[in-house]
Chain A
Amino acid sequence: MTGEHVPCDKCEELLHGYLDRTLSDEEVAQAEEHLDGCDYCRRRYRFEDSLRTYIRVAAVERIPTGLMARLEQLRTDGPGAA
């Protein structure tokens, strides 16, 4: 596929789109071609990928059991009642 070799600046702009899978085919090719030969950007792409996973996990709090019990109580007259 012919296309320009992009510099690190451009590869940086493509980061989120790449991970979100919203880039055009050409942009994906540009990013991957650059990443193949650039340790600097490769490390940063991996960082962002790990960061996203970490944010998802670190931000989770489980529902308190007291609240869950109160939600159950909101059901009118218990299951099956007409």
Chain B
Amino acid sequence: MDEVEPDTEARRLAGQARDRVRFEEEALALADQVYRVARRMVSTREEAEDLVQDTYARAFRSWQSYTPGTNLRAWLLRILTNLNLDRGRRIQRRPDETPLDEGDYYLANRLAEQAGEQTLDQDRAVERLSQDSIVNALAGISDDFRDVVVLVDIGEFSYADAAQILDVPIGTVMSRLHRGRKALRQALAEEAA
């Protein structure tokens, strides 16, 4: 390549190419984290793979709409969540899902009961929950609840980021998180029985 002074347009294109490469590398570095969230939002591994692949295809096409320095992981999850919605959601609520009016010690108490403990052995109780039971219980709660629980309790997003990702008010995030956690723990109590 000649060391001729590049004109403005060539310089601009080279800069843009560098920006795109940097964007792609940063985005790909987050793929494992994006997949981790996607996998728990949908039923099957196949769905998760398709969703993540479509998300990255769209992300790479519209990379210039991302503002450098802002939360790229949230930006990607926003795309993913929208794509997931576009696919047509499953039923909003399971027909047999009656919200329990139990308190927040419910799961602990049920586990103690099942183990025949007078006094809760809190460490043993958690250990008795299998990985599968967590996955199954999550898959069983309604979509709206699961989205928030997955984003906040697994993806570790803030309420504000989750609200942006889902395009709902922050109050809705907090309400769905509270109810979603309750539903999840109820499902875990049933799984462990």
Contact = CB atoms under 8 A, between A and B. Distances in A.
Contacts of A9: 103
Given A54-B129, A74-B57, A48 B154 contact: no
Interface of A: 9, 12-13, 15-16, 39-40, 43-44, 46-48, 50-52, 54-56, 58-64, 66-68, 70-72, 74-76, 79-82
B156 interface: yes
Contact of A82 (B13, B24, B39, B119): B13
B104 A63 contact: no
Interface of B: 13-14, 17, 21, 24-25, 28, 31-32, 34-36, 39-40, 45, 49, 52-53, 56-57, 60, 103-105, 107-108, 119-120, 122-123, 125-126, 129, 131, 134-135, 138, 150, 153-154, 156, 178, 181, 184-185
B135 A58 contact: yes
B105 A44 contact: yes
Given A47-B125, A67-B35, A76 B178 contact: no
A80 to B, nearest CB: 6
Contact of B126 (A50, A72, A74, A75): A50
Contact of B154 (A55, A66, A76): A55
Given A15-B105, A43-B122, A67-B49, A61 B36 contact: yes
A54 B125 CA distance: 11
B17 A51 contact: no
